[in-house]
Every structure is written in structure tokens, then in C-alpha cells.
């Protein structure tokens, strides 16, 4: 039944994009690969959701997408930093102009409340709790409601952005009964377990975990220039510019605080072929993450280039494979290394990416000469070595297959490979890998699946091997959320079960040290452990492929996700 419904949807989308091109419009239409599912800034589900959340809400600080320099957003200026022996203090002051949708000023109490959401028991906040664990407390100024200090554990250069890089939510709207008022951030951190039984905590968790904070436009109200107008699941999300938005009155040189288009529509088109048809017919204005072959074909199409511009900035996104290291058949690192020797990454870069990628041995970009470990040699594409490693791991080849006894049971070596359905890049990697594995008698079953199902399966450890993107940025090397063993429980983002006592210590040391030379030493050793363990196999960093209608200027194209700043777009005069 689900398949029949999917076919109907694809045909509906196909024919809807075969009509006449759209007339000149002030609406910016952005292709989204999946439904956002949830627009709660504390536990949003995917990249589409994050892009929309960033238009509804604002943070204290933000990087300029073109220069990657950090700028104040809700903050009046960059914070003053005082470093002490075991702590650092970041002193902030909010812009006096900043207002919520009801015209109330944004205050330090709203910042304190937003941080409490990261530590409040019984709500889905594990991802942000791990990311901002270094913020230990907040002290508001009794004389000035716009001033506050963040008390942080030690100091690292990443805190210059991370102390202000999270959505600020309105306390009056999210906690109208003041259920969290009596608890400080330090209280919630230090007494997390005991507070799970507190009646007020229970009441707030029930209130905040309701559907209203996932998709109800009455409650999805931030300080950003846009508000949710309409959302039809699986089809579109429409935003409209706020009337009397506080940011519209700032001086013209405030280029990082923008809300230029009157309307922004995210059209949810999972299938690349359907999305390309919509692009060519000018039914969408922005298409990021375009397949390489399509990008190159369009670059040679004079008619298309009369309506669109194409961009290929170097990104911070890595394509990688991940094993479920908890499974008995993948528990031995030599098994995982053997399978890594069946990945012809150079061929992936050349044939699948057509050179729009750079091979890597770790999660640090090879362009980062200080932190990238050039001493590590990537796994070679070497089926003979793969066979040798399998034998070392105890696998026996017989009857045109591999197997070994695990806990007294004969276990054949086979692989189920998952990736997000509709991704042609992943499909091609999977097919080449499947062919290489078949040549040494390892059967690979390819199972693409819908994005939400895949995410849920990964979080619940219901997988064997997957292909995925990991979005990065040049500011943060905090791997606690995705690679620390504390994040490996069901629901955590350490899907593969990666981690050793040494890697955990290194993650913590990387996060704490302010000495860049020492951080480089830790990061290089950490990259070596990633390869030794091989729960994850980094493949390559991609170049972004973006098409944007030439109806717009001021695009702010960059390697930072999503690769453009749609709030800055300016419609050309006709």
C-alpha cells in the first residue's frame, strides 16, 4: 500500500512540474529533499528542519556564510571573555532592538530558559546536552535584563562561536506557567536524575513534548524574520515575512540579519529526477545537493544557464560508511577493515563524483593542514588484502562464501547495506561496492529506505552497514555527540557503537584544550583510532552543487550548509 501511494505521489509531482513556467514572483521556492517532520529547535529531526528553524529563530552569534567570521546576531557585540584556571566567563549583552513576535524585548531570562531546555530531564534533548555540555551556568544581571554571563568549563577557541550558536526561545510562550523558573541551569545539571521525579519537571516535560511544539505555528514563534504560514506534510512548508519585524529597522550595514524575500516555500521533492524537472521548468528557484552528472549537464545547457546560475563551493560535508559494531559478525575490527578494502574510493571520486570531491582518512578535511593527519594512509582497494584480513579475523572461506562460529553458531558473512532512498550518489557507491564484494563471495543486499525510517533504524541500532552524509563546519571539532561512548545508547547519535577508553579521553581533551598544537596532537591520534577501529569509514569531502535562479542576487554562496542564505536573497528589478 505504501508503495502504491508513493507511485501516485511521484506521478502527481511529475505532472505538476510539467506545466507552464512560473510567472515572475517574489516567492523563493527551495527544493527540500525530505519533510522536516519536526520544527522544535531543541530536537529537530533533519537538515530541512534545521534550515527552516534558522529562519524562524535566531541565535546570539552566527558565522557569516561568505567570510566564516563570527558576528553578533541577537547579541549586541561579540562577548568579552575572561579565562580562569578551570573556567571561562563569557559576558554578553543583548541588542536593545531585539523583540519577540508579541513585541516583548528579548532578555537574559530567555537565554537562561533556552539553555535550561538542554538540561531539563524527561525531554528529548540529548543531542544538545552533549553539544553544549561545557556551559555550566548562566548568571543574569539584576540591574540590566539584557546582560548575562555564561560560566563555562575551561576555554577552547570553539567556544567563541558555540557559546552563542543555539536558538533562543521565548520563555513567555514556551513556559507560560513558569514551571522551570525555580530551577537554575546548574540545578538541572547537578541534580538531573533526582529531578526526574519533580512534579513541575514532569508537568513541563509533558507540555513541551507535545505536538504543539513540533508543528503548530502558534507555538513555533521565534525572533527570526519569518513565521510559519502553512505546512502540508510531504509536499511543502510555507514561510512568510513577519510584519513589523524588529530586524527590519536595523542599519543597512547589518548584513547578517536579513529577511528580504516576502515569502519562502520549501517544496518537498525527495526524488532527484522530479526535482530536476521542476528546476528546468522554473518551478523551484534553489536546488542544492544536485547530482554531479546533472550538474555538469546543466552547466553545458545554454537555455538553462539563461535562467539559472550554478555554483560549486568546497563544502564541509563528508560521505562515509558506518558499521553496526555491536553485531557479533562485525565485532572484530579486522572484519570492518577487510570490508573497507573493498571500497574503491578513488573510483568513487573519479567516476561517481567526477572530481567534485576530495578523499579523506578522517572527519577533518584534508584542506585543514594543522589538524588533518597526513601520516595515515587510506585503506587501499585491495580484495586480496580484504581476504587476508578476514582470515585473520577467523572467517573461513568455503562453499563460495565466508563464515565462522560465533557463540557456537555458524554465521555466514553477508551484508545488508542501507542508505536514503532516491540518492543516486549513494546508489552508485552501493552498486560498485556490491560488485567488488561479490568477486570475493561476500553477498551484499542493498536496501534503500525512506529518510525517517533510516534515521530511526540507526538510532535504534537496527542496521548492519549504511552510507550517509555528515555535515561539518570549520568552527567545531566536538565529536562528543556522534562518537563518544556516552552517546552510543539507543536514541543517541553514536550509531555505530564506536569508542574506546582512549578515544573517549581524546574527545574530552579535544573539547577542553585551548592550545592549538596540543589539540592538533589529540585530533591526529583520534583520526588514527577511527581508522584502527573502522566502525566508520570516511570516504570523501564533497563540493556542493547548487543552482539558483538568476532572478535573485545577494545569495551568499558558501561551503557552509545549506550553501546559501535564502533570507538574504534580493529579487532583481525587472
Helix (H) or strand (E) holding 148: strand 147-153
Reported confidence tier of residue 24, pLDDT bands at 50, 70, 90: low
Contact by Cβ (8 Å): 290, 268: no
pLDDT bucket at 17, cuts 50 / 70 / 90: low
pLDDT band at 511 (very low <50, low <70, confident <90, very high): confident
Q: Are strands 552-553 and 570-571 parallel, antiparallel or unpaired?
A: antiparallel
* Per-residue pLDDT tens digits for 138-149: 999 999 999 999
pLDDT digits (tens, 9 = 90+) for 395-436: 999 989 999 999 999 999 999 999 999 888 999 999 999 999
Classify residue 390 as exposed, middle or buried by CB count within 10 Å of its CB (0-12, 13-18, 19+): buried
564 close to 555: Cβ distance less than 8 angstroms:
yes
d(CA 308, CA 104): 41
CATH 3.40.190.10 residue spans of the chain: 2-33+225-313+544-571
pLDDT of 207 > 70? The answer is yes
The pairing of strands 396-397 and 402-406 is antiparallel
CA angle, residues 550, 552, 555, in degrees to nearest 5: 105
CA distance 335 to 284: 45
> Residue 133: left (phi > 0), alpha (psi -120 to 50), or beta?
alpha
* Residue range(s) occupied by CATH 3.10.105.10 in the chain: 316-543
CA torsion sign for 499, 500, 501, 504 is negative
User: What secondary structure, in 3-state letters, does 522-546 show?
Assistant: HHHHHHHHHHHHCCEEEEEEEECCE
Q: In degrees rounded to 5, what are phi and psi of residue 382? A: -150, 90
Q: What is the mean pLDDT of the chain?
A: 92
For 142-188, the pLDDT digits (tens) are: 999 999 999 998 887 789 999 999 999 999 999 999 999 999 999 99
Quick check: 317 and 545 in contact, CB under 8 A? no
User: Domain 316-543 adopts which CATH fold?
Assistant: Dipeptide-binding Protein; domain 3 (3.10.105)
Across 369-464, the runs of DSSP E, i.e. the strands, are 396-397, 402-406, 409-412, 415-420, 444-449
Rounded CA-CA distance 170/138 in Å is: 17
In this model, does residue 5 exceed pLDDT 50?
no
CATH, domain 57-202, list 3.40.190.10, 3.20.20.80, 3.40.50.300, 3.90.76.10: 3.90.76.10
Count of CB atoms situated within 10 Å of the CB of 109: 15
CA distance 560 to 557: 8
Distance CA 525, CA 447 (A): 34
Q: Under a CB-based contact definition with an 8 Å cutoff, are residues 324 and 465 in contact?
A: yes
Average pLDDT over residues 385-390: 98
Please identify, in words, the CATH class of the domain defined by 2-33+225-313+544-571.
alpha beta
For position 3, what pLDDT does the model report?
37
Mind listing the pLDDT tens digit for each residue in 434-466? 999 999 999 999 999 998 899 999 999 999 999
pLDDT for 136 beyond 70:
yes
Is the pLDDT score of 10 beyond 50?
no
pLDDT digits (tens, 9 = 90+) for 350-359: 999 998 999 9
pLDDT at 489: 93
Q: Which of 311, 191, 241, 208 is nearest to 562 (CA)?
A: 311
Q: What percent of the chain has pLDDT over 90?
A: 80
Closest CA to 430 of 416, 412, 414, 451: 416
Quick one: average pLDDT of 98-120? 97
**CA pair distance 162, 326, nearest whole angstrom:** 32
The DSSP bridge partners found for residue 230 are: 238
Q: Is the pLDDT of residue 13 over 60?
A: no
| DSSP per-residue string spanning 189-233 | HHTTTGGGG-HHHHHHHHHHTSTHHHH-TTT---SSSEEEEEEET
The pLDDT confidence band at residue 11, using thresholds 50, 70 and 90, is very low
Q: Check: CB of residue 455 under 8 Å from CB of residue 495.
A: no
Per-residue model confidence (pLDDT) at position 12: 47
Dihedral, 73, 77, 81, 87 alpha carbons, nearest 10: -30
Residue 15 pLDDT: 45
All residues at 6 or more sequence positions from 131 whose CB lies less than 8 Å from its CB, including other chains? 162, 478, 480, 481
The strand pairing partners of 319, in sequence order, are 469, 540
Gap between the Cα atoms of 233 and 246, Å rounded: 30
Amino acid at each position: 500500500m505504501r508503495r502504491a501511494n508513493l507511485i501516485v505521489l511521484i506521478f502527481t509531482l511529475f505532472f505538476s512540474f510539467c506545466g507552464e513556467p512560473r510567472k515572475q514572483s517574489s516567492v523563493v521556492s527551495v527544493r527540500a529533499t525530505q519533510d522536516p517532520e519536526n520544527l522544535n529547535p531543541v530536537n529537530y529531526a533533519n537538515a530541512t528542519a534545521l534550515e527552516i528553524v534558522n529562519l524562524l529563530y535566531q541565535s546570539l552569534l552566527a558565522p557569516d556564510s561568505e567570510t566564516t567570521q563570527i558576528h553578533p546576531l541577537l547579541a549586541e557585540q561579540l562577548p568579552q571573555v575572561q579565562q580562569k584556571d578551570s573556567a571561562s566567563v563569557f559576558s554578553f549583552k543583548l541588542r536593545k532592538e531585539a523583540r519577540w513576535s508579541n513585541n516583548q524585548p528579548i532578555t537574559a531570562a530567555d537565554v537562561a530558559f533556552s539553555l535550561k531546555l538542554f538540561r531539563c530531564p524527561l525531554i528529548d534533548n540529548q543531542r544538545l546536552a552533549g553539544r553544549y555540555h561545557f556551559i555550566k551556568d548562566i548568571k543574569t544581571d539584576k540591574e540590566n535584563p539584557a546582560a548575562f554571563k555564561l560560566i563555562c568549563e575551561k576555554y577552547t577557541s570553539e567556544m567563541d562561536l558555540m557559546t552563542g550558536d543555539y536558538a533562543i526561545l521565548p520563555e513567555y510562550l514556551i513556559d507560560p506557567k513558569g514551571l522551570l523558573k525555580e530551577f537554575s541551569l546548574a540545578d538541572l545539571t547537578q541534580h538531573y536524575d533526582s529531578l526526574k521525579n519533580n512534579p513541575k519537571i514532569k508537568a513541563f516535560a509533558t507540555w513541551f513534548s507535545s505536538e504543539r511544539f513540533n508543528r503548530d505555528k502558534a507555538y513555533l514563534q521565534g525572533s527570526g524574520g519569518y513565521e510559519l504560514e502553512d505546512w502540508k506534510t510531504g509536499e511543502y512548508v510555507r514561510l512568510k515575512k513577519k510584519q513589523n519585524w524588529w530586524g527590519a529597522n536595523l542599519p543597512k550595514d547589518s548584513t547578517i540579519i536579513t529577511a528580504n524575500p516576502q515569502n519562502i516555500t520549501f517544496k518537498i521533492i525527495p526524488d532527484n529526477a522530479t526535482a530536476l524537472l521542476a528546476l528546468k521548468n522554473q518551478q523551484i528557484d534553489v536546488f542544492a545537493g544536485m547530482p554531479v552528472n546533472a550538474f555538469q549537464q546543466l552547466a553545458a545547457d545554454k537555455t538553462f544557464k539563461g535562467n539559472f546560475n550554478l555554483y560549486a563551493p568546497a563544502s564541509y560535508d563528508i560521505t562515509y560508511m558506518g558499521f553496526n559494531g555491536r553485531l557479533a559478525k562485525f565485532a572484530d575490527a579486522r572484519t570492518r577493515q577487510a570490508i573497507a578494502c573493498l571500497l574503491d574510493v578513488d573510483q568513487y571520486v573519479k567516476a561517481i563524483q567526477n572530481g567534485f570531491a576530495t578523499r579523506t582518512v578522517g572527519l577533518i578535511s584534508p584542506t585543514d593542514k594543522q589538524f588533518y593527519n597526513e601520516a595515515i594512509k587510506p585503506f587501499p582497494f585491495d580484495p586480496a588484502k580484504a581476504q587476508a584480513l578476514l582470515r585473520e579475523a577467523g572467517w573461513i572461506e568455503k562453499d563460495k562464501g565466508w563464515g565462522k562460529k560465533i557463540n557456537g553458531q555458524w554465521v555466514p558473512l553477508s551484508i545488508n547495506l542501507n542508505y536514503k532512498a532516491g540518492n543516486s550518489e549513494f546508489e552508485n557507491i552501493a552498486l560498485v561496492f556490491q560488485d567488488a564484494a561479490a568477486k570475493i563471495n561476500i553477498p551484499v543486499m542493498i536496501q534503500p529506505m525512506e529518510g525517517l525510517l533510516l534515521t530511526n533504524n540507526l538510532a535504534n541500532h537496527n542496521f548492519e552497514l549504511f552510507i550517509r552524509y555528515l555535515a561539518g563546519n570549520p568552527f567545531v571539532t566536538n565529536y562528543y555527540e556522534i562518537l563518544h561512548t556516552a552517546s552510543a545508547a539507543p536514541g543517541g547519535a553514536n550509531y555505530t557503537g564506536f569508542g574506546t577508553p582512549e578515544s573517549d579521553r581524546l574527545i574530552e581533551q579535544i573539547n577542553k584544550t585551548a592550545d592549538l598544537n596540543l589539540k592538533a596532537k589529540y585530533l591526529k591520534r583520534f583520526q588514527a583510532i577511527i581508522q584502527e577501529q573502522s566502525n566508520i569509514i570516511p570516504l570523501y569531502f564533497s563540493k556542493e552543487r547548487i543552482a539558483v535562479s538568476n532572478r535573485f542576487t545577494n545569495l551568499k554562496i558558501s561551503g557552509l550548509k545549506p550553501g546559501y542564505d535564502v533570507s538574504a536573497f534580493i529579487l532583481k528589478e525587472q
